[in-house]
Structure 1
Amino acid sequence: MSDSNTTNFTNPSTFILLGIPGLETAHLWISIPFCTMYTIALLGNFTILLIVKTEPSLHRPMYYFLCMLATTDLVLSTSVLPKMLSIFWANSREIGFSACLTQMFFLHCFTVVESGIFMAMALDRYVAICLPLRYSLTLTKRMVTKIGLAAVLRGAMLILPFPLLAKRWPYCGTNLIAHSYCRHIAVVKLACADIRISSYYSLFVIFFVTGLDLCFIAVSYSKILQALFSLHTKDTWLKTFGTCSSHLCALLAFYIPDVLSSVVHRVFHNIPQHVLVLIANIHILIPPVVHPLIYGVKTKEIRDRLLRLFTHKRT
């Protein structure tokens, strides 16, 4: 390891990612489930995109939002997992300063984007169930495109200060990041300066995005539940509830690890570092793996199209 790891510097050329501190000897074994989950995430999300693209009957707002979710999951997992696996397999721990800030931006930006897409999917279900006669007029292709762009722009605008602030801090003492990827708080903690601006802004983004989006989603689904209870046809009730339950399962798979990772990292300081890093890694891994499985199993149109695809190949 170079001397720059312990000497003072203000503009580091590289950082050193430690992977999962305390579990270095188990990196190879840990890489097996991580690589398996990443492979499942790639296959599952690309399958969702392929099915929606090739099936004209799925060219509807609900499935356009699902494609946005799949794309976001692919960007999230791919921004982190390849480098993480190179640490586990080849001990390739160096990452350039600019590359680290880029990874930080994409990771946190698309986390915010994904939260915005879940809010859009809740809006889609609200309009479809509570205002069905206005559905085709409200959620046009143009409107869906605007909503998707708004989610991306919101994520970029909120997260851009992360790397900009991190770049201006002076760094000294060490360039060792006790993490397997360039998480914002793990990087700025290395700065030999008062980083309260970065810390407070990070907390603001967490509470603003999570709080605002969850409130909107909660209001939407409370209205949806009211509409569900007013349905008198059992088949219609079951079909509508089945569609909404898949969205709720996907929401839980995203928000629970996200909130758990953020809260545990800041509140429970006596938890071992390797546990905190594993929780943060689960936050990145679980949603891209679980979302295609949820929608593949719970959404009848996708399930039927997938079965027809496999049946056609066998014949």
Structure 2
Amino acid sequence: MNSSRRVALMSVVCFFVLLCCSAVSAQLSPTFYSTICPTAQRIVRALVRQAVANEKRMGASLLRLHFHDCFVNGCDGSVLLDDTQGFTGEKNAGPNANSLRGFEVIDKIKGIMERVCVGVVSCADILAIAARDSVVELGGPGWVVNLGRRDARTASQNAANTNLPGTFFSLNNLISSFQSQGLSANDMIALSGGHTIGQARCTAFRTRLYNEANMNQVFASSLKATCPRTAGNGDNNLTPFDASSPNLFDNGYYTNLRSQKGLLHSDQQLFNGGSADALVSLYSANQTAFFNDFAAAMVKMGNIKPLTGNSGEIRKNCRRWN
């Protein structure tokens, strides 16, 4: 085959690959439920508002559920599946066990949704909408959620253990983890700002608290009563990521990093003399820039390998397949 024919053939192949990829992406749409369940987003919003009003921390929990779903084989609701005698889900993976919460809120939303629009709205889409609405309820930015995901019939505890970034990760580890999901280093830095709300258990930051020098010592001393040095003592005690405004979605997370008050080892890696320092400095000074980039990165994250068309199913109960 001569070079001109080879180039022409490759161009045709690339065109069809791009066409196929565009077709998959096009199946997610912000108007997906406009005619088949027009009240879907209003139902989620009302119940998220109620849940967050009852417990501010729930906003962070619902945001985290969506993140932990999307990083394990895509945004497919797999994180919601319960273990059974013959099935191992993701809830008891290392990053999730005794940590993920908010399942009952999703159950309540799904229960009402099934009464209003039977077999129409997926659990994966509920997670995506609830994450956005949780951020808004706590004062953060909104964004347009693309919809039309379907629910997985499978889950992977191994992928949950492997794909989710760890609290001990270095900056390079974090960048690689996010890049493996099609997200850039800048996306990672913006999405990490979700830690401006929520809390962490003592086990997640004990090693940093007693062994790392790049931690504000006054801040460290204030945590030691909550998180004693000895393992097994106070393991489940909780500390907010941003003690100054724990229930407000703002740019306080980045201000804390610049003062060496990152709670987790992986948090402080974003401001530790590396390539992320400049963007952390920008976000700490410009909340609007953070909000804009966070919203854009959430849209990208929500588009990770969705099941669409005839793939998967619409679960009747988010905890088990049909």
TM-score class, shorter:
under 0.3
TM-score (norm 1): 0.21
TM-score (norm 2): 0.21
Q: Which has the higher contact order (CA 8 A, sep 6+)?
A: 1
